[in-house]
């Protein structure tokens, strides 16, 4: 058991607290330490952003529904508290600037995975086309949709292991470009996601066991095929950079909202965390722009706090939630990850402010309130970050605010909502019913 490991700084009190599975805030004591030497450069983030820009005409060609955005995959920044202070029960919060970054409505893939996933598939296609001399460097990527490019891609397989949303994003984009697409999923993955992929010509392989097993199965199979690229959610830099590219657009949106961001007027961002790629990439991109003026907090289910555990353990060895006796069972399927990304956790060690955990009933209650008050529908995973501003106004955060000289009333809060718009209506109604029940029960008690 992990408690006995000599490398561990995971103290007994923290382990016991996590084992109770009640919501808590953990502050990262390593925030501000040096990044590892091999950390991605600002230039690499810029290159990802350029690549996504060069692919706009291609995306518009492949997906006619992107005509309105001219092929840009982006989401709105929605002011929450102005519209409805009641979403946050504390009166203090209703006077603060709280926004929702609406990635639950990202086109085509319906989740934050559109950012990293599309970027990786497009980057692989670009690399193959360059090798085959179908295009030249820095060329507009509409050229990836020609008949000769498609014929070339048909000889390659792109595969991925996924709990669902990453599979949707990779599968849909790979198939659209003409690749053979294979998605390895765990048996418990949602049926509608499997069906949606099969409808697009994607092969779905089902694995017993959890997410890590699906990834391992996919990785092993891909390793035996030279013309197969495996998108590795636990280690992929291309995914990470696709997420990091989100930061520039958010900075523009904040400017349009006339939100000044500096050390005295900090940006505080709350993002649901699974393996860590999406929230880690976004945090990394935001740090590159705002530096010390941005503070990032991740939200993890009480049964799956893999990033919290890995960072708190402060070791190069992988430490999973199973190692401290948690079962990784949560309704937030996008966040049900037992082991954090080994690419991302060393970066977040230096940059992440902290992690708060969320109990499943709270997720449902939050998604119900968001729908009820703002007419916004999200999936359980995407509701995880909504508690963020509540935590930063909680006494548990006071030391953090003091030591960073933060006057919370001057902050801009951004809650990242990560998925939901493709969830079938029937499933969404089920989420809403559960949320309403919990909400009503809670109300009748207070």
Query: Footprint of ligand PLP on this chain (CB under 6 A)?
Result: 111-113, 165, 272-279, 334-335, 379, 381-382, 418-419
CA–CA separation, 240 and 35 (whole Å): 16
- What residue has token string 């639950």? 104
Q: In the chain, count H helices and then E strands.
A: 17, 11
- Count CB neighbours of 426 within 10 A: 8
- Considering the complex, what minimum distance in angstroms separates the CB of residue 112 from ligand PLP? 6
Q: Which is nearer to ligand PLP, 232 or 379 (CB)?
A: 379
Q: Which two tokens stand for residue 193?
A: 């996601």
Q: Which is nearer to ligand PLP, 81 or 418 (CB)?
A: 418
- Considering the complex, what minimum distance in angstroms separates the CB of residue 298 from ligand PLP? 8
Q: Which is nearer to ligand PLP, 15 or 355 (CB)?
A: 355
Q: Which is nearer to ligand PLP, 107 or 419 (CB)?
A: 419
Q: Which residues contact 41 (CB under 8 A, 6 or more apart)?
A: none
Q: Which is nearer to ligand PLP, 102 or 273 (CB)?
A: 273
- Considering the complex, what minimum distance in angstroms separates the CB of residue 284 from ligand PLP? 12
- Considering the complex, what minimum distance in angstroms separates the CB of residue 251 from ligand PLP? 21
In contact, 176 and 155? CB cutoff 8 Å: no
Max Cα-Cα span within the chain? 68
CA–CA separation, 345 and 16 (whole Å): 22
Q: Where are the beta strands (DSSP E) in 273-426?
A: 294-301, 354-358, 412-417
Q: Which is nearer to ligand PLP, 166 or 406 (CB)?
A: 166
- Considering the complex, what minimum distance in angstroms separates the CB of residue 157 from ligand PLP? 22
Q: Which is nearer to ligand PLP, 299 or 312 (CB)?
A: 299
- Reference 313, options 284, 346, 356, 343; nearest CA is 346
- Reference 375, options 110, 100, 165; nearest CA is 100
- Considering the complex, what minimum distance in angstroms separates the CB of residue 208 from ligand PLP? 21
Q: Which is nearer to ligand PLP, 178 or 419 (CB)?
A: 419
Phi (first) and psi of residue 49, to 5 degrees: -65, -45
Torsional sign, CA 327, 330, 333, 336: negative
- Considering the complex, what minimum distance in angstroms separates the CB of residue 316 from ligand PLP? 20
Q: Report the residue closest to ligand PLP, judged by CB.
A: 274
- Considering the complex, what minimum distance in angstroms separates the CB of residue 47 from ligand PLP? 20
CA–CA separation, 295 and 272 (whole Å): 14
- Considering the complex, what minimum distance in angstroms separates the CB of residue 335 from ligand PLP? 6
- Considering the complex, what minimum distance in angstroms separates the CB of residue 440 from ligand PLP? 26
Phi (first) and psi of residue 205, to 5 degrees: -110, 125
Q: Which is nearer to ligand PLP, 128 or 299 (CB)?
A: 299
CA–CA separation, 273 and 336 (whole Å): 9
The C-alpha torsion from 197 through 198 and 201 to 205, rounded to 10°, is: 90
- Considering the complex, what minimum distance in angstroms separates the CB of residue 139 from ligand PLP? 30
In angstroms, the Cα distances linking 173 to 316, 353, 399, 417, 425 are: 34, 34, 45, 22, 24
Q: Which is nearer to ligand PLP, 253 or 381 (CB)?
A: 381
Q: Which two tokens stand for residue 121?
A: 């598939």
Q: Which residues contact 207 (CB under 8 A, 6 or more apart)?
A: 161, 184, 185, 186, 187, 213, 214, 217
In contact, 416 and 273? CB cutoff 8 Å: no
Q: Which is nearer to ligand PLP, 273 or 376 (CB)?
A: 273
């Amino acid at each position: 058991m992990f408690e006995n490991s000599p490398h561990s700084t995971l103290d007994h009190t923290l382990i016991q607290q996590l084992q109770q599975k009640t919501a808590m805030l953990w502050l990262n004591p390593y925030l501000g330490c040096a990044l590892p030497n091999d950390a991605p450069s600002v230039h690499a983030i810029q290159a990802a952003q350029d690549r996504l820009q060069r692919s706009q005409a291609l995306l518009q060609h492949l997906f006619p529904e992107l005509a309105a955005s001219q092929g840009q995959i982006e989401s709105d920044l929605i002011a929450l508290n102005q519209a409805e202070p009641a979403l946050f029960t504390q009166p203090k919060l209703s006077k603060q600037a709280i926004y929702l970054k609406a990635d639950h409505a990202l086109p085509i893939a319906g989740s934050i995975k559109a950012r990293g996933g599309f970027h990786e598939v497009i980057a692989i296609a670009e690399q193959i086309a360059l090798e085959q001399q179908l295009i030249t460097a820095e060329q507009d990527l509409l050229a990836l949709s020609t008949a000769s490019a498609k014929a070339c891609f048909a000889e390659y397989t792109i595969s991925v292991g996924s709990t669902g949303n990453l599979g949707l994003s990779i599968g849909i984009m790979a198939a659209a470009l003409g690749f053979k697409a294979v998605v390895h999923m765990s048996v418990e993955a949602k049926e509608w996601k499997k069906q949606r992929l099969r409808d697009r010509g994607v092969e779905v392989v089902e694995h017993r066991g959890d997410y890590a097993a699906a990834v391992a199965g996919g990785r092993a199979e891909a390793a035996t095929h030279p013309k197969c690229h495996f998108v590795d959610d636990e280690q992929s830099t291309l995914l990470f950079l696709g997420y990091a590219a989100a930061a520039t657009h958010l900075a523009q949106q904040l400017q349009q909202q006339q939100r000044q961001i500096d050390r005295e007027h900090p940006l505080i961002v709350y993002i649901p965390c699974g393996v860590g790629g999406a929230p880690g990439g976004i945090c990394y991109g935001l740090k590159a722009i705002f530096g010390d003026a941005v503070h990032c907090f991740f939200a993890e289910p009480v049964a799956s706090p893999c990033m919290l555990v890995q960072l708190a353990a402060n070791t190069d060895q992988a430490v999973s939630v199973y190692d401290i006796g948690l079962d990784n069972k949560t309704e937030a399927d996008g966040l049900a990850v037992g082991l954090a990304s080994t690419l991302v956790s060393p970066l977040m060690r230096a940059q992440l402010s902290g992690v708060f955990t969320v109990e499943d009933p709270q997720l449902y209650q939050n998604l119900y309130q968001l729908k009820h008050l703002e007419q916004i529908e999200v999936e359980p995973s995407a509701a995880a970050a909504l508690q963020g501003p509540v935590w930063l106004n909680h006494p548990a955060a006071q030391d953090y605010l003091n030591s960073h000289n933060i006057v919370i009333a001057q902050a801009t809060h951004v809650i990242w909502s990560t998925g939901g718009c493709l969830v079938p209506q029937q499933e969404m109604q089920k989420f809403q019913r559960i949320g309403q029940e919990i909400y009503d029960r809670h109300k009748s008690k207070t």
